[in-house]
Structure formats: structure tokens, C-alpha cells
Amino acid sequence: MLIDEEGRKYLAVAKRGMVEVRKLGVLDGDTMCDSSFGEKLDVGGRRFVILQPSLRDLLSMIERKAQIIIPKDSFMIPLHLDIACGSKVVEAGVGSGALALVLLKTVAPGGKVSSYELRTDHADVARRNVNMSGLQGCWELKVGDVCVEELPRDLDAVVLDMPNPWDALPNVLKSLRIGGHICCYLPNANQLERLVNAMKDSGLSEVYSFETIQREMVVHEGGVRPSFDSLGHTGYLAFGRKTA
């Protein structure tokens, strides 16, 4: 990651030869490869600091084709799915790949995330974003319908970010191991109601749902106050567990 003197950030793959950097131009990759994190890099009269990007950096800078699940929601998902290094996870749909990055960061290097996406244009964007992260070795992307595709067996978790997750439940639950968890993300309350009822009817246990509200605190010399802006409703998260 290159950070200029005004704090603007750019993602670059460190490789030999000329390297194209999105929104910045073409740079000398040899110079980047021979530099260490924290060193300065001068490009076209501008000075940059070289750092390794964090997951939050990646999510803030990835190419977007579809609306992403933002960190206040996506970072909650691995916790409630109880996944870690070595876990096997199925995700649908992949969108721009933001949630795939969060899942991959959690299960790597020993686990695997299998993502399903109906739209090839979304899949292409997600592939570029995941390849930029260096986590693609734990990832499988398929253009197809999770409602009918043959899925990997003995899954630890399933995440459904799609308008009709209730239609996918019969297929995904066949591949979810006993004790495994499922998460669904939906923007509207009427969808949530239909989903939760379908999850209970499908035999899932421990079904619950919530939304996450985030408010930044502004700390200055005179005191502390809540920010006038807040990250309010973005979507509902619903979880369940297969126990039989």
C-alpha cells in the first residue's frame, strides 16, 4: 500500500518490472520490491510511504461493482459463525468480494472459502479484489446458483448474501455439518421475517437476528462527544445452527 502526504491510499502488487496502480498510474516495480515497509518512495514529484495493507485498508480501497457488506457488519460474521483457521465455508453471492476477504482472512491458511455468484461481471470484480489480497490460495469461485449447485460436504459454515436465502436453505443444509452455523444478510425487515420463519421451519436451532449500529466518538482537547454522523441501519444479520 502506498500512502501519499495527504493520506490518500493506493494498492499495488509488488513485482518486478512496470506495475500499474489503480487511480495512480504506472510505477517502477523494481524500486518497490527493493524497498522495506515504512520507507519513502518518490513518484512523479510525489512522496509515498510503503506499508502492508490491513484488512480494513483492503476493504476501503477494493474495486466495487456491487454494494458491499461494510466492516461493522462483516466483522461480526466470523465471530457468530465460530470459524477460524482451517474452517470450510460456503458463501453466496460474492458481489465485489468484500465479505470473501473477511472470511478468507479468518480461515487462512488452512481453510477454504467457496464462493458462488450468479453474475459473471460481479465474479470478475471479486476475483480481481481477492487476487490483490494474496489470499486466493484458500479461495474457490464458481459462477452458479447456490440453490442447486452441488456444494462441498461437511461445511463448518454458510453465509448467504442474496435476496432469497430461504430458497437456498434446503441445498446448503445438506452440506452443513452437525454443529455448523449459517448466516444470512438482508436489508429489509419483511425479508428478515420470512427468513427467520424459514430457518425455524427447516429445523435450525439457536435462530437469532440483530443489526449493528456504530457511532464514532470525537475526542478533542476540550472533551469527548459522539460524532454527529453514525453508521446506522445497513442490514440485518440472522444466524442459526444445525443440531440434527
pLDDT tens for the chain, 244 residues: list them.
Answer: 999 999 999 988 888 988 888 888 888 888 888 999 999 988 878 899 999 999 999 998 888 888 889 999 999 999 999 999 999 999 999 999 999 999 999 999 999 999 999 999 999 999 999 998 889 999 999 999 999 999 999 999 999 999 999 999 999 999 999 999 999 999 999 999 999 999 999 999 999 999 999 888 999 998 999 988 777 789 999 999 999 9
Query: What gap in Å lies between CA 135 and CA 146, rounded to an integer?
Result: 22
Query: Distances from the Cα of 140 to the Cαs of 92, 119, 126, 148, in angstroms?
Result: 12, 15, 11, 17
58-241, what's its fold? Answer: Rossmann fold (3.40.50)
Q: Where are the domains of the chain?
A: 2-52, 58-241
pTM over 0.75: yes
Query: What gap in Å lies between CA 171 and CA 104, rounded to an integer?
Result: 23
The angle at the Cα of 64, spanning 168 to 46, to the nearest 5 degrees, equals 155
Count of alpha carbons within 13 Å of 97, Cβ hemisphere only? Answer: 30
